[in-house]
Amino acid sequence: MKLGFDIDDTLINLREHAFHIYTRKLGKDVDIAAFHALDKVNIHEIFDLTAEQGKQMWISSMEEIYFTDCPPYPAAIETLQELDKRGHEIYYITARPKKHGERTRQWMIDKGFPVRDERFFYGMQDEEKIHIIEELDLDYYFDDKPAVLNTLNQDSLKVYVKDQSYNRHLDIPRIMEWSDLMKIL
Ligand SMILES: [Mg+2]
């Protein structure tokens, strides 16, 4: 089977990693409960930043957010390794900017994710993921973002949402834990 995965907040806990970086850089002691209650992807509000300040904060922190020690979700690496071992094709489709694409690929390899050369896509807009997903003719696709998931409704594709506080309104089959994936397939 061909399975496609988003990376950030689907396979790795990026926003929470960013939350801790913001807390340290801004010297603000924001309760993690506020983070877990967010109903949107962006995290700047709980730090009392405007949208523009939030954007600048994200851009200026991007290097640290992407390429330090962001933790993968429990069982994510092991589950994808097992799928790879069983002969399934694993594709990564991330909207991370083009200039960070190759480094992100290497970072994923260093973390232990099974990455095969040509099965790694980056640098597209959220709503453009659908073109790659269609072209690849995937059987399954996993993502966390409503902006992406709302564009995917082909009959042949099984779409799953990785559970997050900002996507609970979506009526799509849901992945709570990566250890559950083998039971689903
Ligand atoms: Mg994502």
* pLDDT at residue 38 tops 90: yes
Answer whether 149's CB lies under 8 Å from 173's CB: no
Q: How far is the CA of 41 from the centre of ligand 1 (A)?
A: 9
CA of 151 to the centre of ligand 1 (A): 14
- Predicted confidence at residue 18, as pLDDT, reads 98
Please pick, among 6, 9, 143, 144, the residue that the annotation labels catalytic.
6
8 included as an active-site residue: yes
Mean pLDDT of the chain: 96
Determine which one of 8, 9, 143, 144 is catalytic. Answer: 8
CB 7 within 8 A of CB 94: yes
178: number of Cβ within 10 Å:
20
Give yes or no for residue 154 having a pLDDT over 80.
no
Cβ–Cβ < 8 Å for 78, 177? no
Ligand 1 centre distance from Cα of residue 161 (Å): 10
**Tally of CA atoms within 13 A in the half-sphere of 35 that contains its CB:** 16
Q: Is 90 exceeded by the pLDDT of residue 88?
A: yes
**Residue holding tokens 């992807």?**
41
- Ligand 1: distance of its center to the CA of 20 in Å? 18
* Spatial CA neighbour of 156 closest among 142, 174, 137: 137
Which pLDDT value is given to residue 16?
98
Global pTM value: 0.96
Average pLDDT, integer, range 7-21 = 98
3-state secondary structure of 12: strand
2-12+72-184 maps to CATH 3.40.50.1000: yes
Whether the Cβ atoms of residue 136 and residue 91 lie closer than 8 Å to each other: yes
Q: Residue 156: is its pLDDT beyond 90?
A: no
Write down the domain spans for the chain.
2-12+72-184, 14-67
